Amino acid sequence: MNFYLVNGFLGSGKTTAIVNACKLLITQNVKVAVITNDQGAQQVDSAYMHALTLPNAEVVNGCFCCRYNELEKAIAALTISAQPEIIFAESVGSCTDLIATIAKPILLNHHKTRVVISVFADACLLHSIMKGNACFIEDAIQYIYKKQLEEADIIIINKTDLLEKEELLYVKQIIEASYPGKKIIFQNSYNENDLYNWLQLLKTFTVPDHRNSLNLDYNTYASGEAALAWLDQKISIHTTNPVAVGTALQLIDSIYEKIKSAGYTIGHLKFLLSNDEWQQKISYTTNYRKEQTIATVHNCKHIDLLINARVQASPAQLQSLITNTIHEAMMQTGCRIVKHKSSAFQPGYPKPVHRIAE
Q: What is the mean pLDDT of each run of 10 residues along the chain (358 residues)?
A: 96 94 97 96 90 94 96 96 97 96 93 95 92 79 95 97 95 96 96 97 94 96 94 97 95 95 92 92 76 74 96 96 97 95 94 94
Tell me the whole-structure pTM to 2 decimals.
Answer: 0.94
Q: What is the pLDDT of residue 51?
A: 86
- Say yes or no: domain 228-345 is CATH 3.40.50.920: no
Q: What is the pLDDT of residue 295?
A: 60
Q: What is the pLDDT of residue 297?
A: 77
Q: What is the pLDDT of residue 137?
A: 64
**Domain spanning 2-224: which superfamily?**
P-loop containing nucleotide triphosphate hydrolases (3.40.50.300)
Q: What is the pLDDT of residue 136?
A: 66
Cα 122 from Cα 9, distance rounded (Å): 8
Cα 265 from Cα 262, distance rounded (Å): 9
Q: In sequence order, what DSSP letters do the residues of 146-201 get, joined into one string?
A: HHHHHT-SEEEEE-GGGS-HHHHHHHHHHHHHHSTTSEEEEE-TT-HHHHHHHHHH
Q: Sketch the domain layout of the chain as residue ranges.
A: 2-224, 228-345
Cα 15 from Cα 20, distance rounded (Å): 9
Q: What is the pLDDT of residue 168?
A: 96
DSSP three-state, residue 342? strand
Cα 308 from Cα 106, distance rounded (Å): 29
